[in-house]
Amino acid sequence: MSDNLTPLLDIKGLCVSYFTRAGEIPAIKDFSLSLKAGESVGLVGESGCGKSTVALAIMRYLGNNGDIVGGSVSFKGRDLATLSADELRQLRGSEIAMIYQEPMAALNPSLTIGTQLMEVPMVHENVSAADARSRALQMLDDVHLPDPERILQAYPHQLSGGQQQRVVIAMALLSKPALLLLDEPTTALDVTVEAGIVTLIAELSHKFGSALLYISHNLGLMLEVCDRIGVMYSGEVIEEGTIDSIFTWPKHPYTHGLFGCIPLPHADKNARPLVAIQGQLPLPHERPPGCNFGPRCDFFESGLCDAGDIGAEYVDTDDDPRHRVRCVRWRDIDPDQLIAKADGKPPVEYGEKVLDVVGMQKYYEVHDRSIGAMISGDGIRYVKANETLSFSARRGETLGIVGESGCGKSTFAKVLMGLECCTDGEVRLDGQDIGDMPVRERSPKQLGSVQMVFQNPNDTLNPSHTIGGQISRVIKKFGVESDKHKIQDRMLRLLDLVKLPRDFALRRPRQLSGGQKQRVGIARAFAGNPSMVIADEPISALDVSVAAAVTELLVDIQREHQTTLLFISHDLSAVRYLADRVVVMYLGRIMERGTTEEVFGPPYHPYTEALLSAVPIADPAVEKRRIVLEGNIPSAFETPKGCPFATRCPRRLGDICDKEPPPQRQNRDRHIIACHIHLDELRGVAPVISLTSEAPDQVGA
Amino acid sequence: MTDIVRTITPAPTPGAAFMRALKSFALIRESWVGMIGTGLVVFWIVVALAAPVIAPFEPNATLQPFAKPGVAFTKGGIFWLGTDHIGRDILSRIIWGSRAVLLYAPLATICAYTVGIVMGLAAGYFRGWIDELLSRLADIILSFPVLVLYIIIIATIGASALNIIVAITFASAPGIFRIVRGLVLDLRNRDYVAAAQTRGESSWQIMLVEILPNARGPLIVDACLRLGYVIITIGVLGFLGLGLPPPDPDWGGMINETRQMALAFPHMSVFPCVAISSLILGFNLLADGLREISLRD
């Protein structure tokens, strides 16, 4: 391990195929990578590009139908293909450890954390139980878990998601592996928790000298964790180099395209909209000849790009001699030409007030029927999902609601839709109070006037019915049209609106990709000419390039129809890009609200400040102040009496924060911060995000 | 664009839906287990349909008692599977008996499913007291030994084809209820159900149009298995003397009538047993095959 010249992991020309009914499906083609001890390399790409298969191939854990069909993987000089099953088992978990996406699925729910942690050194190094226990304790301390003794006794379900992932990391590091494979380790976690885990991984890999192979779809995370990255597309690494080199001088059109799809801080939905990549990812058995990206590429030249397999070429940049790109035309591509495509759009004009929420409250009653609760008399407890929400939105305006899981943003959406009734306060839509009007009591017009775009594309459409049938049903139900032919006609026009071919009307949801399903969901929401559309995390389950296309579509339709859009998301980058005004929620309460510029610049609420710092930004020119929040979001049963954020706030003043609810401090006209700290002091806080001037602006005008 | 409007206009007919179902059933070719099951079931269906043509003798005619298999009848013809103690041809009785089984077993299963699905949908979708009530009711019925339950019901209301169906419905609906309820509990939380609620669909519309079609996969597999159980049940009822009233041929009844002579004349009870087993095996293998192909895609 001390020898830094021979690579720890050396993969040469690796090819992996899965064998299915349809025949051999190549998952990875010609994958090469060398990883030195202590180095961290990232693999980034959209779903289905083969990045997880790489990790599984390294572990030789491809399942029954997968096999390595070419190339070699050598680890510490040993070819992994020659190892027996027993030798592999010794290697896995001790020399190579893997961390998966779902911490809950990686831990055994019926064993204590202690038993699971102690097992690692006991199996691999034959140490005594007492030794194993002390090492487990030490490791829990290293991953910064509070009260390790208690956690050793705990079962997985007693820990939060972030704590579970820390335990999984501790487990992976217990045998001091030389190589750590991380497959989307933070994707299932909230941003503030993610920030903590990412910092921890970086710190620990330094401390233990483990090399990292970090797999993610998030380019921003790569920037924070890795030294080098490989960009994968459809089973191939299409570009590889150091972080600086790739982010500053991307050569491959796909890499360029990816950057155009990410809402970076300087993107603007009016002046500088996102540029989606045309087309969609080819299925593994339908890959085109030559360059896989060819059919989606603006620089495609027939006869050249589709002539045959394309090898990786070295790019001569002063910065990184190992920067390679798999494109025959990279010399001819002018980055500026790629960017120029995005035309600006006129800003939206806001109309009258559409939504007015005044002191809205939603409590859930939870009945505790245990004998203990009956005796003590507190049989009913309340989950305070929403506490005195007040805000408004105008016609044509986009209102972003931001917060982590459990902050009550989806509960609010349910009240608006009439799936729940609010406990107190008013929710006025077009002047009518609909807060305690369940969906059953609403007229078809009222139903049609507020509609929703759902989060999960696989869940939003009924798999048993055709696309056309589902949209037609909505049109009929809202009473927009009643004549059969007119319904049909309107359904087809709605498909046009979301830029789907008309013959999709006869298809069933499983014949559509995720992005296409989400488009149908949008068409359905706009069927009744809504005055307001609620989009609950509409793009968080989609791939980067697809998300950009769906975002742009949503913005365009909204602009055209002058619809108020309520955009609910945990993704601050998307909210900054889309929203005109932002509401930041925490534990059912509004922490800060105002226009996007006001919320994303000082003065900040300390929670907004921490959220902003936690979001990874895929731009090396952006400098961030790092704020890592300690602790977990308190349970909604025991919301703190004072400021809900007081338990985790880095700027906590003292007892006043715990005991008294914070005052609503008005910075400007409609910019409100709920905090005990005086506004003057908050105004003095430096911005979290700043652009460093000397770094070249690679997406420049 | 108008071309497409025109091509889309005809609404999908029931015929088209049937063809689609047939097409997806054609996938069973890829499972050899399923193919054997299909073969057995189709064989018995053909036998039942063609009974008047292929049965060599009248099923209820007393011809020649205690004939061994293969013995020739004096007035022409051969008793391929022998005759029973009062001289009826066993092969003909099995062939005619398949009609009763293949008529009443599916009918009873359909009745049980109708009741079970309606109860399961209501309990799983509405939750609350209706769920509590129906679930406890199902628990009570399921807590009886099935056989005792059948005997009580048939003894109370009398043995007839209709009463067999009633008894089977009563005894198997709770099991179906539990499966449907479990599926609905999962499906009711899907976004498309929320979407249907927010456009003001009625509860039964949501249950029958949005939820039920998506539960069909597991239900079809279960229906095939359950059909096998119902055939056993009809056989058992016949064996206990609670089946179809004599003299019409009934597989279970044939075994019952000849069981005391089983040692001396095994052919009298063995062949009806083989008939029952093969049909049940057919439905079970078909269910396995359907499960196999449904897991694949």
Model confidence at B123: pLDDT above 90: yes
pLDDT value for A187: 76
| A261 part of contact set with chain B, CB < 8 Å | no
Looking at residue A343, its pLDDT comes to 66
Chain A residues in contact with B197 by the CB 8 A cut-off are 419, 439
Candidates B190, B4, B191; CA nearest to A452 is B191
d(CA B86, CA A50): 73
pLDDT for A339 equals 56
Give, to the nearest 10 degrees, the angle between helix A113-125 and helix A129-142.
120
Asked whether the beta carbons of residue A442 and residue B200 sit closer than 8 angstroms, the reply is: yes
pLDDT at A79 exceeding the cut of 90: no
Reported as a pLDDT band with limits 50, 70 and 90, residue B4 is: very low
Task: Please report, as a single letter, which amino acid is at residue A342.
Answer: A
- State residue B116's pLDDT score: 95
| Token digits of residue B291 | 């499960």
The Cα A132–Cα A152 span in angstroms is 12
In the predicted structure, residue B8 carries a pLDDT above the cut 50: no
Residues 10-69 of B with CB under 8 A from A: 12, 30
How far is the C-alpha of A589 from the C-alpha of A59, rounded, in Å? 46
**Among residues 515-544 of chain A, which lie with CB inside 8 Å of chain B?**
524
Is pLDDT at B10 greater than 60 in this prediction? no
CA distance A319 to A248: 10
Mean pLDDT of chain A: 82
Give me the residues paired with residue B79 across strands: B71
Residue A2 has pLDDT above 50, yes or no: no
Q: Nearest CA to CA, how far is A573 from chain B (Å)? A: 25
Asked if pLDDT for residue A610 goes beyond 60, the answer is yes
- Stretch among A170-179, A304-313, A411-420, B171-180 having the lowest mean pLDDT: A304-313
Burial annotation A444-479 (CB, 10 A radius, 16+ → b, else e): eebbbbbbbbbbbbebbbbebbbbbbbbbbbbbbbe
Q: Torsion angle of alpha carbons B134, B138, B141, B147, nearest 10°? A: 150
Task: Write a three-state SS string for A577-627.
Answer: HHCCEEEEEECCEEEEEEEHHHHHCCCCCHHHHHHHHHCCCCCCCEEECCC
Query: Could you report the per-residue pLDDT of A542-562, keeping only the tens digit for each?
Result: 888 888 888 888 888 888 888
The closest alpha carbon to B271, from B70, B26, B19, belongs to: B70
A695 pLDDT tier (thresholds 50, 70, 90):
very low
From chain A, the residues in CB contact with B5 under 8 A are 488-489, 492, 502
Q: What does the pLDDT read at residue B114?
A: 95
CB contact A322 to B (< 8 Å): no
Provide the pLDDT for residue A3.
Answer: 47
Least reliable range by pLDDT among A315-324, A634-643, A658-667? A315-324
Per DSSP, A454 falls in state -
End-to-end CA distance of chain A: 46
Do A547 and A539 form a contact (C-beta atoms < 8 A)?
A: yes
pLDDT, tens digit (0-9, with 9 covering 90-100), for B211-228: 998 998 889 889 988 988
- What is the arithmetic mean of pLDDT over A520-548? 86
Q: How far is CA A112 from CA A156, A537, B97, B192, B230, in A?
A: 7, 35, 60, 38, 46
Answer whether the bond into residue A602 is a cis peptide, omega within 30°.
no
Token pair, residue A411, equals 């509960």
Q: Quick check: B144 contacting A, CB < 8 Å?
A: no
Please tell me the predicted confidence (pLDDT) of residue A337.
60
ipTM over 0.85: no
What is the per-residue pLDDT for A335? 63
Put simply, the chain A residues between 264 and 293 with a CB less than 8 A from any chain B CB are none
The listed range with the strongest mean pLDDT (A276-290, A403-417, B18-32) is: A403-417
Residue A254 CA to residue A266 CA, distance in Å, equals 20
The radius of gyration of chain A's CA atoms, rounded to the nearest angstrom, is: 27
| B75-110 pLDDT tens trace | 878 888 888 888 889 899 999 989 988 999 999 999
Does pLDDT of A290 surpass 70? Answer: yes
The set of residues, in sequence order, having a beta carbon less than 8 Å from that of A353 and lying 6+ positions away, is A392, A393, A394, A395
Give the whole-angstrom CA distance, residue A384 versus residue A363: 5
Q: With CA atoms as reference, report the closest residue to B280 among B217, B236, B215, B242.
A: B236
Which residues in B lie closer than 8 A to residue A451 (C-beta atoms)?
Answer: 198-199
Most trustworthy range by pLDDT among A17-26, A522-531, A622-631: A522-531
The model's pTM is 0.82
Quickly list H helices, chain B. 2-8, 14-25, 32-49, 51-54, 90-126, 128-143, 146-157, 161-187, 191-198, 203-205, 216-239, 251-258, 267-296
Contacts of B260 (CB under 8 A, 6+ apart): none
| Best of B2, B132, B188, B192 to mutate (most A CBs within 10 Å, chain A) | B192
pLDDT at A479 over 80: no
How much is the average pLDDT of B150-176?
A: 89
Secondary structure of residue B120 in the 3-state scheme: helix
Distance between CA atoms of A70 and A13, rounded to whole angstroms? 7
- From the list B191, B200, B214, the residue facing A439 with the nearest CB is B200
Percent of chain A with pLDDT over 90: 3
Segment holding A87, helix H or strand E: helix A85-91
Cα gap B219→A282, rounded to integer Å: 35
Of A419, A468, A506, which is closest to B197 when you measure between CB atoms? A419
pLDDT of residue B9: 44
pLDDT of residue A338: 57
Determine the length of chain A. Answer: 701
